[in-house]
Structure 1
Amino acid sequence: MLASVSSSTQAPEPAVLLVLLPMAAEAAKPAFMASLARLQQQLGTAIRVLKIDEASHPSVVRSFQTTELPAFVLVRHGVELWRQQGLPEGETIAPLLLRQLRIANNEA
């Protein structure tokens, strides 16, 4: 017999990091793809990285009303938790994202 697990003890559903990319496809460069793969490894299962390029999904990219691409948008259940337009400077993005997710989890 399986015991039911209380929803309060379950880990929160992973957030999603949307990486919005310009049509000039930096994403097509192998180095960029490798950096996204490394980022996903650093984030583990807490945050899922999805690459969305403007050429393939222009309406999705426009819906985020970004003024600069690339843009990084962290969302969970349709709620935006964090946004970075342009490439992050200084701090690597993985620790920054994990910190933002911890903040969001504590506010929930």
Structure 2
Amino acid sequence: MAPVSSLPAPPPAPAVLLILLPPAALGDALPTALTSAALRALQSRLGPAIRVLKVDEASHPAVVRSFGTPALPACVLVRQGVELWRHEGLPEDEAQVTHLLEAAGTT
């Protein structure tokens, strides 16, 4: 009987950065557009190891409340349901992005 070759280990599940946002005020499209552009830029900086996902409190209030964040916007990095990192506000400078990548184990 031939030996059974072992299968390669599956790649680790990507981390997800949840961006928890307050509901946009009526007629407040400009900040929403700026936030979307900022999140696209952040996703570009993080690469494929971390998926950026926007969660708006108006659309998903229970999800946002479940994280118990004292202020919005806030970021929560999770992998397979385990919280790895949390930050009030959006990660805007390189030091915060580097810390985020370290928390995800990508550096």
| TM-score, length of structure 1 as denominator length | 0.77
In the TM superposition, 1:82-101 aligns within 5 A as 82-88=85-91, 91-101=94-104
Q: CA deviation at 1:23?
A: 1.4
Aligned residues between the structures: 100
> Which protein shows a greater Rg?
2
CA distance in 2, matches of 1:78, 1:59: 16
Counting aligned pairs with the same residue, the percent is 58
Per the TM alignment, residue 57 of structure 1 is displaced from its structure 2 partner at its CA by 0.4
Would the alpha carbon gap of residues 47 and 33 (structure 1) be closer, same or farther in structure 2, given more than 3 Å must change? same
Q: Secondary structure at the match of 2:104?
A: helix
Q: Which runs of 5+ in 1 are unaligned?
A: none
Amino acid at match of 2:83: E
CA distance in 2, matches of 1:33, 1:43: 15
Q: Is the 8 A contact 2:91 2:97 kept in 1?
A: no
Letter of the 1:61 counterpart: V
Instruction: State the TM-score, normalizing by the size of structure 2.
Output: 0.78
Provide the alpha-carbon RMSD of the alignment.
2.6
Are positions 1:50 and 2:38 aligned together?
no
3-state SS of paired residue (1:18): strand
Listed one character per residue, the Cα deviations across residues 58-89 of structure 1 (whole Å, up to 9, x for unaligned) are 00000101101001000000000000123447
User: Structure 1 residue 101: deviation in Å?
Assistant: 1.2
Q: 1:89 to 1:42 in 2, by over 3 A?
A: closer
